[in-house]
Amino acid sequence: MVWETPYFSYAVRELPKGCQLCVRGEKLVLFTTGVCPRDCFYCPLSPWRRGDVVYANERPVKNVDDVIEEARIQEAKGAGITGGDPLARLERTVEYIRTLKENFGKDFHIHLYTTGALATEKALSKLYDAGLDEIRFHPDLFNPNSKLFKVEIENIRKAFDFDWDVGGEIPSIPGQLDRMKWYAEFLDKHGAKFLNVNELEFSEMTLKTLLDMGFQPVSDESSAIKGSLELGLEFLEWGEENTSLSYHLCTAKLKDAVQLKNRLRRMARNVARPYMEVTEEGTLRFGIAEYDDLDELYEFLVEEAEVPSEWLHINREKGRIEMPEEVAVELADAVEGDVKFFIVEEYPTWDRLEVERIPLP
């Protein structure tokens, strides 16, 4: 039976361990390089992620300590290693797996996405020895001219010699049901545990190509592609009858409304300052005052307006003083002059993305 999960996704049999933690926002997203041997027409990477860059969630990584700090802030119970192809920088990827296991224990669950193109026996054995728990292959299934596809499939066969969970993860591309079935049968025959299917999404970089190929977004508000979800469901029905794999059809809505929100909530608990309110969505809400001379403004707020100093924080980087929302509302009413007051809502992420700004009269 294809069942609807509580996370706006669909499944056959049980969810892979990596997904169970991911939907709860408990997986650190560790991007170990943007380098990749492939060039998929649907590649979701933004231009600034296409080089040899490293990120832990939104945090740019200079060394492994940044990775550990981000995992601590999130109270992560595991990590999903992604890219690019993490095997394009194998030594770095292996070092991060090893360090995460050393710092957070052997139960810290780590899964990894790869094309398979670079998954030689030696590379797989390094990953296994470092403690990798689950490996997900995304071969060049939808490119009939692929030179890499054969190499990838040969490499994937070798992954079954190790004692870890092996699965596939591919986008659901309208018109490609036969290729998806072929891959499911291949994985099933070799003893894989699962095949994950992602609802196809466009990005700024791929929209034109996808439109030229005849694909359409489902609506103006969504990045999902029409027909992908329906095809995914049809594929799951087929898979249930014809293979013994587990399947998870991961939707655009799951990534947006569930996984991200849950991760933000976990992070907010650890980064919220006393004057910030953590909202249902996992954002931080507080008041701010903007003025040219922050020291003068601070002195005024403490001495003239008598705001307790523990309620105030000078944020020089952003050129503002932060405070509880109610204080900003009250001051906006009472203070005259060039000081501007706002209520803001920000993500509790490293880049503190501002998602709302309400000017106070």
The reply to whether 149 sits near ligand SAM by the rule CB under 6 A is no
Residue 9 binding ligand SAM, by CB under 6 A: no
Among residues 111 and 285, whose Cβ is nearest to ligand SAM?
111
DSSP assignment of 48-100: GGSSS--EETTEE-SSHHHHHHHHHHHT-SEEEEEES-GGGGHHHHHHHHHHH
Nearest distance in Å: CB 131, ligand SAM: 20
Q: Which does 345 bind (CB under 5 to 8 A by kind): ligand SF4, ligand SAM, none?
A: none
Region binding ligand SF4 by CB under 6 A among candidate stretches 55-63, 79-87, 97-105, 218-226: 79-87
Q: Please, are residues 6 and 253 in contact by the beta-carbon 8 Å criterion?
A: no
Cβ atoms of 191 and 246 within 8 Å: the answer is no
CA distance 187 to 166: 9
Query: Helix, strand or coil for residue 331?
Result: helix
Closest to ligand SF4 by CB, 84 or 324? 84
Tell the smallest beta-carbon distance from residue 198 to ligand SF4 (Å). 10
- Residue closer to ligand SAM by CB (options 103, 203) is 203
Contact 235, 195 (CB under 8 A): no
Q: For 2, left (φ over 0), alpha (ψ -120 to 50), or beta?
A: beta
Given ligand SF4, ligand SAM, none, residue 39, with its beta carbon under 5 to 8 Å by kind, binds ligand SF4
The verdict on 111 binding ligand SAM (CB under 6 A) reads no
Which CB sits closer to ligand SF4, 255 or 266? 255
Which one of residues 5, 33, 74, 115 is an interface residue with ligand SF4 (CB under 6 A)? 115
> Contacts with ligand SF4: how many residues (CB under 6 A)?
11
Q: Is 169 in the site for ligand SAM (CB under 6 A)?
A: yes
- Does 331 interact with ligand SF4 (rule: CB under 6 A)? no
Stretch that binds ligand SF4, among 83-91, 180-188, 199-207, 329-337 (CB under 6 A): 83-91
Site for ligand SAM, residues 28 to 47, rule: CB under 6 A: 36, 42, 44
User: Is residue 38 a contact residue for ligand SF4 (CB under 6 A)?
Assistant: yes
Strand-by-strand arrangement of the 165-172 sheet:
2-4, 10-12, 246-250, 194-199, 165-172, 134-137, 109-114, 78-83, 27-33, 55-56, 59-60
Residue 179 is classified by DSSP as H
Q: Which residue has the tokens 């224990």?
A: 105
Binders of ligand SF4 among residues 17 to 36 (CB under 6 A) are: 36
Enumerate residues 115-134 that contact ligand SAM by CB under 6 A: 115
One-letter identity of residue 43: C
Nearer to ligand SAM, 117 or 327 (CB): 117
In angstroms, the CA 287 to CA 232 distance is 45
Q: What does 171 bind: ligand SAM, ligand SF4, none (CB cut-off 5 to 8 Å by kind)?
A: ligand SAM
Taking the complex as a whole, the smallest distance from the CB of residue 282 to ligand SAM amounts, in Å, to 22
3-state secondary structure at position 3: strand
Radius of gyration of the chain (CA): 24
Q: Which is nearer to ligand SF4, 49 or 158 (CB)?
A: 49
Sign of the alpha-carbon dihedral angle for 123, 155, 201, 213 = positive
What does the binding site for ligand SF4 look like in residue numbers (CB under 6 A)?
36, 38-40, 43, 45, 83-85, 115, 138
